[in-house]
Amino acid sequence: MPIHHASLEPQRRYLLFSSIDTNRSAHDYWLAEPDRNFDIVVYVYNGDTPKQQFDLCVEKKGLKFPNFFEFSKTADLSRYDAIWIVDDDIQMHTRDINRMFELFHEYDLWLAQPAYDSSSVTSWEMLFVDNRYRIRFTNYVEVGVVLFSREALNLCLPAMRDIQSGFGADFLFTALTGFPPKKIAIIDAVQCCHPEGQSSVDSMVPRPLHYRDGEELMAAYHVTYFTPRVSGGVRR
């Protein structure tokens, strides 16, 4: 599997970034249609180089946030209006990702995520789709599907080099942005699927260590747990 220099000349308005195991990744969904408004950068930590044409494909072990922090050193991220840093098992078709980015821009959000469909696995009931809304404002987005504006990325990027398992990072990101009113949201107009299955993170960071990592991460940035909640939204 060839190694490419981790640089990229942006071609589109938005960016999808992921660290993937090609034996289990949902990247076929992301590339299902040719007309996309987002570049795709993947760091492959296991498996063969995908046959599909990504905008940048790098062979590198490691987890998505430290990998993204490394990528940011060589990429001009200021040319993207929004960046989606997503787990490799998230199933979402090209057209829905396009629409997610458009809605993110339309509502001038800082942090967001697509709603989960009813078959997904998540820790928080509020993250499942609510068909009454286009978007719902919240104080929390899940770390596996988090979408950043330029403003939010500038605030959160330095912490990404310290994130390992990802535990606690969802609380950290919203706290680092200062919980701006009506800037953090669940986008109900589009849905993704987070299927049941063993987390790929477990192969790199044993599950019992996730909680310790999360506690240490949050303590380092003086962030404490809070209750995720929804505070209104935009009706369909």
Mean pLDDT of 145-161: 96
The Cα 218–Cα 163 span in angstroms is: 10
Angle at alpha carbon of residue 161, lines to 160 and 165, rounded to 5°: 75
Supply the pLDDT for residue 38.
98
Mean pLDDT of 183-195: 97
Domain membership flag for residue 1:
no
What share of the chain has pLDDT > 90, as a percent?
A: 72
3-state secondary structure of 180: coil
User: What mean pLDDT, rounded, does the chain reach?
Assistant: 90
Domain membership flag for residue 162:
yes
Q: Which domain holds residue 95?
A: 14-235
Confidence of residue 2 (pLDDT cuts 50, 70, 90): very low
Please name the residue that has the structure tokens 């987070």: 194
Instruction: Specify the number of domains making up the chain.
Output: 1
Domain membership flag for residue 9:
no
Mean pLDDT of 143-150: 96
Mean pLDDT of 182-200: 89
Domain membership flag for residue 116:
yes
Enter the DSSP assignment of 181: T
Contact between residue 20 and residue 27 where contact means Cβ atoms under 8 Å apart? yes
3-state secondary structure of 60: coil
Supply the pLDDT for residue 51.
66
Of how many residues is the chain composed?
Answer: 236
Mean pLDDT of 74-81: 93
48 vs 88, residue with greater confidence: 88
pLDDT at 56 over 70: yes
Supply the pLDDT for residue 203.
56
Confidence of residue 4 (pLDDT cuts 50, 70, 90): very low
Mean pLDDT of 5-32: 88
CATH at 131:
3.90.550.10
Confidence of residue 1 (pLDDT cuts 50, 70, 90): very low
Strands across the sheet containing 56-59: 56-59, 38-46, 14-21, 82-86, 145-149, 111-116, 184-192, 133-138, 230-235
Q: What is the residue-wise DSSP string for 87-98?
A: -TT-B--HHHHH
Mean pLDDT of 129-158: 97
CA dihedral 44, 48, 52, 53 (to 10 degrees): 50
Supply the pLDDT for residue 215.
86
pLDDT at 115 over 90: yes
Supply the pLDDT for residue 197.
67
C-alpha of 167 from chain center: 14
Confidence of residue 6 (pLDDT cuts 50, 70, 90): low
Contact between residue 90 and residue 182 where contact means Cβ atoms under 8 Å apart? no
pLDDT at 205 over 60: no
Supply the pLDDT for residue 213.
79
